[in-house]
Structure 1
Amino acid sequence: MVTRITGLASGMDIDDIVSKLMQTERAPLNKLTQKKQTLEWQRDSYREVNSKIKEFQDYMSNNKLTYPSTFQSKTVTSSNESVLTATGSASAPNSSSTVEVASLATAATYKANNYTGYTQGDYNLAFNVVAPGETTAKTVNISVTSADTIDNVISKLNSSDLGVSAFKDKIWNGTEYVETIAFSSKATGAGGSIQAADSATADFMSGQLGFSLDADNKLTAYKEGTNAKVTINGFEMEKLTNNFTVNGVTYSIKNTTAATGPVTTSVSTDVDGIYNQIKEFVDKYNEMVDSLNEKLKEEKYRDYTPLTSEQKEAMSDKEVELWEEKAKSGLLRNDSSISTGTNQMRTDFYTQVNADGKTYQLTEFGITTSSAYQMRGHLEINEDKLKAKIQEDPQSVAALFTSGSNSSAYSDKGIMKRIGDTLKSTVKSIEAKAGNSTMGTNDYSIGKNLNTISTDITKMQDRLTTIENRYYTKFSAMDSAIQKMNEQASYLSQLLVQ
């Protein structure tokens, strides 16, 4: 920064005079700076719009409405949920069933009957394990070292593929509580077994842990595992577990029906569940499209331009905030990219969908777009009409939303695919104008304009520096001339006095 001492001879405030002269000279620079600020605000506003769109795209990518099976969701009721509950898959037919439960599935248990203590040592254990309902044995190997205590051994049994939950505690033997090792099978059902695969393992299980083995070196069960016995619509069957699936319905049984009598289950289309998912989608969509429409309708205050630094200094922070709020308003008013996107989404919903030789119109399902043009694509739902359609023909609702593929003709694409395509093209159009955080400034139009303006500002600043220096040079010359005149006047005055 150049330090200047001016006006000594003339007595004039040269700095103030030059400052006022430069205010006029800086007017073009201020306009460039304001234009740059406006473009930056516009870029940021575009990116806010794309953030809203991408937020909805993320929602759609995780939304179950993209899957036809969603529209086949079933709900199952039970007349006695203390006995059993049930859920239905998409394949479950809408029907009622009578269920009787004679017994529940139980897990096999094994209890040592002669545990006298454990002697630490190195043991390589091998077992042949048959799971309930299986016929093929699985080999399980467990390595025990001399450093392992009985608690370590039990921990290794639990973490192995033996399929049991093992523990050691004082258990009643009929006359007293004694230290005992016990196993509970992790799987319910009949037919499972645990066999010592060699004599060393058999000796370990009987001699060290106190279990009884039969002639085939299989652990003798304290209680054998049993299958659940149920009768559905008169058909008696056995199941390995208390959770099983029959004809697309998964049953979870908790008690027998000996005391309560048969339980009735009813399978029907999950009308409320499907409706709620559609409504959630519509609400999310409306939230996005309404925010876009607000940008398109936002009022433009042409008298509110970006403030210069001098103007900001003369205002309070609150005044600056309120001013800039109006200056930023309307920057995307009637924007072509956004309006094209909202208009296309309205078309996506209104255009009929062709699927399986039939045509489907959104209005037939109780969903309409707002009649107000300014609302561009805002959706409204007639709840009763939509629920009736879901109940009557869920397949047609699925076709409306999910039919076609990415390569299908537009008329064959369901609403979800159409909207997805429109959102992608809208984001791309906006990024061509405003870019994104990963793009360089030369990759989008506003960025290129900002580069040009930044170059112009730099040139203008250099030019203003030259002009300011010229003003100071001229005033300095004037000051020097006045100084000389003063010196001459003083000299003449001295001569006259003589």
Structure 2
Amino acid sequence: MIGMDLSKIASTINMRYYSQLGGFQVGGAVSGLDTQSIINAILEAESQPLQNLTEKYEKYELMQEAYTEVKTKLREFRDLVYSFKLQSTVVQKTAVSSSSLLSAEASSVAVTGVYHVKIVQTATYTTLAGASEVVPPPDSTKTFGELDYMYTPQEGTVRLYNNETGNYVEVQVLSTDTIDDIVNKLNTALSSAGITGSVSYDTSTGKISITSDKNFSLVDITGNFTKVFHLDEASLNYSGGNYSFTSTASVSGLSTAKTLQQIATYTSKTIISGKVKINGVEIDVDQNDTLSSLIEKINDSEAGVTASYDYHANRVVIISKTSGPEAITLEDTYGTGLFSLLGIENHSLYVGQKAHLQISMDGTNWADVYSDTNDVEYNGVTFHISGMTSETITVDVRVDTDAIVEKIKEFVDKWNETMDYLNEKLTEEPITDKSEEEMTEEEKMKGVLKGDDLLEEIFSRLRGFITYKVEGDINYLWELGISTGDIGTGYENMMKGHLEVDEEKLRQIVEEDPDKVWEFFGGENGFATQLDDYLWELVKFNGRIDQVAGISGRIEREQRFLATQIASWIERLSKREQELWRKFSAMEEVISQLQSQGSWISQALQGSNNK
């Protein structure tokens, strides 16, 4: 094989190459010549055109990679340039409020000045609250074992401590004890612990209350009495010389893991599977749904509401997802009995209110402004309400000069970064002190675009924008304090397309009239508008760069042509290699025959002499 690996070259152009020699070739067995080396040397000399074509092909590949990088850089630059076509990018304003209950954001079109603001009403959400508890409190004849509304009752021992003396009394709570039995046991325990007080159960609230003249505590030793009656969440209150301790929720407060059928059993109501409508949206109801899964169905539907169950109040509440005056309607057209079961068939509806602000620019003339949400817009300013106050709040809206100056400086920095990159690609030299195998991909790409015609054109066109004239109050970049620099550095910077910012001059122009600055950049024929149009022509699909380095671009076409030539040369050299091996093999055969003949003649002469 030749010094240049034909199979490797073939893979460069995605060509499948198979040697036609079919196995190891051994030469020079008779002649003593190094046939392999001789053939390699001949083919190496004859393959020079192939090497040149391959190098050219690989350079085109590197050029495509380099142009992909150029395109990415120009896209990044265009993203920033495009934003300068938007007024909100250049004309930035700030709003400072005197109260934490009202914040504000000023858009680019906001009217500057001091706003006096009164919060009359915050936006609220429509709320539907059930008129009755889901499960009414049980009467006092219910046994402890039957109170499985939230927890499974476990009989055990509860200890009543007199915290002032350290004494305690234990009470046994049995599953068969009625609520009356438990109350009586606790009253006895109070007296035994040296406490004057009383324990009572309120059938209207489902809560146990304990009053005492001494500090005390109630603790489960075994069982879960305090949890069942929601006394474990309660805190001891002291007022007027007495202590009080009351359940935080009704004993009939439900676990949301209870099914609708279980809830119906508690209330002796009927529930059947079917559909209901909330705000006209159908929701499937299954009697085996848990309260939790039903609520999830409602909340995940398109009804626009959020349902919840508050076990402390033992009621279902439905709230609209959007604030303002929204309706909440319930329809049980299939007769499932769901709304009756949940205690919301009869309900109170509290319609949401609009947010209401009174705003004045002079503190005398007031405008009433309303919004369905707590975000209220007025004169290009959005006021965010987070609470009520009777005070008049001031909001100072002004041009954010610092932000505008920083944004323009960001543009100049990105301009310089882009121009420096293009200039570097046009002028950098290829690396020559390393072999191809030693170089990184980045090093291989160095110099491949040096003096490239398209890149030179792009650089020149962009550099020409430095002196581009915009019709309007501001005509040139230099009027904004953006130029190639002072005399002495200006020419060099101009050649490189490098810009500098006179921040003092820029700030002065921005403070005088930021709208004129935006018109310069984002107007119909503004600087950013024209620059963006040119960049788009470069980077869009099948744009100028794609026409050279994209799919079916000039480089791709050149590569296809080169690939055809390379394939032809590979075939030619492969055949040449076979031909050379045939010739050298024939030569070996001739030499072998001559040697055989010489040996026969020698033997014949020797035999004749012996006679």
* TM-score in same-fold range (> 0.5): yes
Say whether the 8 Å CA contact 1:100–1:256 is kept in structure 2: no
Superposed displacement of residue 197, structure 1: 6.4
Q: Distance in 1 between matches of 2:441 and 2:68?
A: 22
Structure label with greater radius of gyration: 2
The unaligned stretches of length 5 or more in structure 1 are 130-138, 173-178, 214-218, 308-319
Q: Distance in 2 between matches of 1:423 and 1:108?
A: 52
Superposed displacement of residue 423, structure 1: 5.0
1:249-328 counterparts in 2 under 5 A?
A: 249-258=381-390, 261-300=391-430, 320-322=437-439
The one-character-per-residue Cα deviations of 1:353-384 (angstroms, maximum 9, x if unpaired) are 33xx5562122223335743796434444444
Q: Does 1:344 align with 2:361?
A: no
Match of 1:110 in 2: 128
1:233-248 counterparts in 2 under 5 A?
A: 233=360, 234=363, 235=366, 237=368, 239=370, 240-248=372-380
Letter in 2 for 1:397: V
Superposed displacement of residue 476, structure 1: 3.8
Match of 1:314 in 2: none
Match of 1:209 in 2: 342
Match of 2:212 in 1: none
Say whether the 8 Å CA contact 1:83–1:255 is kept in structure 2: yes
Match of 1:50 in 2: 67
Over 3 Å counting, the alpha-carbon distance change for 1:198 and 1:350 in structure 2 is same
Superposed displacement of residue 241, structure 1: 2.9
1:419-430 counterparts in 2 under 5 A?
A: 419-422=535-538, 428=544
Match of 1:23 in 2: 41
Number of matched residues? 446
Say whether the 8 Å CA contact 2:537–2:543 is kept in structure 1: no
Match of 2:348 in 1: 220
Superposed displacement of residue 485, structure 1: 2.5
Over 3 Å counting, the alpha-carbon distance change for 1:164 and 1:386 in structure 2 is same
Q: Distance in 2 between matches of 1:72 and 1:302?
A: 47
Say whether the 8 Å CA contact 2:88–2:107 is kept in structure 1: no
1:25-40 counterparts in 2 under 5 A?
A: 25-29=43-47, 31-40=48-57
Q: Distance in 1 between matches of 2:521 and 2:581?
A: 68
Superposed displacement of residue 171, structure 1: 2.7
Superposed displacement of residue 47, structure 1: 1.3
TM-score of the superposition, structure 2-length normalised? 0.61
Superposed displacement of residue 112, structure 1: 2.3
Percentage of pairs with the same residue: 24
Q: Does 1:65 align with 2:83?
A: yes
TM-score of the superposition, structure 1-length normalised? 0.73
Q: For structure 1, which segment, 148-157 or 458-467, has the greater mean C-alpha deviation from structure 2 after superposition? A: 148-157
Over 3 Å counting, the alpha-carbon distance change for 1:466 and 1:81 in structure 2 is farther
Q: Distance in 1 between matches of 2:330 and 2:450?
A: 81
Alignment RMSD, CA only?
Answer: 4.1
Q: For structure 1, which segment, 44-53 or 381-390, has the greater mean C-alpha deviation from structure 2 after superposition? A: 381-390
Letter in 1 for 2:368: M
The unaligned stretches of length 5 or more in structure 2 are 1-20, 136-262, 265-269, 485-489
Q: Distance in 2 between matches of 1:78 and 1:141?
A: 47
Superposed displacement of residue 120, structure 1: 1.5
The one-character-per-residue Cα deviations of 1:126-179 (angstroms, maximum 9, x if unpaired) are 56x6xxxxxxxxx4555535454544443444344554322123234xxxxxx2
Superposed displacement of residue 344, structure 1: 1.5
Q: Distance in 2 between matches of 1:5 and 1:163?
A: 86
The one-character-per-residue Cα deviations of 1:241-280 (angstroms, maximum 9, x if unpaired) are 321111111111223344xx43322223344444555444
Superposed displacement of residue 334, structure 1: 1.4
Letter in 1 for 2:606: S
Match of 1:232 in 2: 359
Match of 1:13 in 2: 32
Superposed displacement of residue 385, structure 1: 3.8
Over 3 Å counting, the alpha-carbon distance change for 1:102 and 1:45 in structure 2 is same
Match of 1:180 in 2: 315
Over 3 Å counting, the alpha-carbon distance change for 1:394 and 1:494 in structure 2 is farther
Say whether the 8 Å CA contact 1:124–1:141 is kept in structure 2: yes
User: Which of the residues 443, 450, 455 maps onto 1:333?
Assistant: 450
Over 3 Å counting, the alpha-carbon distance change for 1:43 and 1:386 in structure 2 is farther
1:391-402 counterparts in 2 under 5 A?
A: 391-402=511-522
User: Which of the residues 576, 594, 611 maps onto 1:481?
Assistant: 594
Q: Does 1:467 align with 2:602?
A: no
SS in structure 2 at match of 1:267? strand
Letter in 2 for 1:454: A
Q: Distance in 1 between matches of 2:311 and 2:562?
A: 83
Say whether the 8 Å CA contact 1:290–1:375 is kept in structure 2: no
Indicate the structure with greater helix content: 1
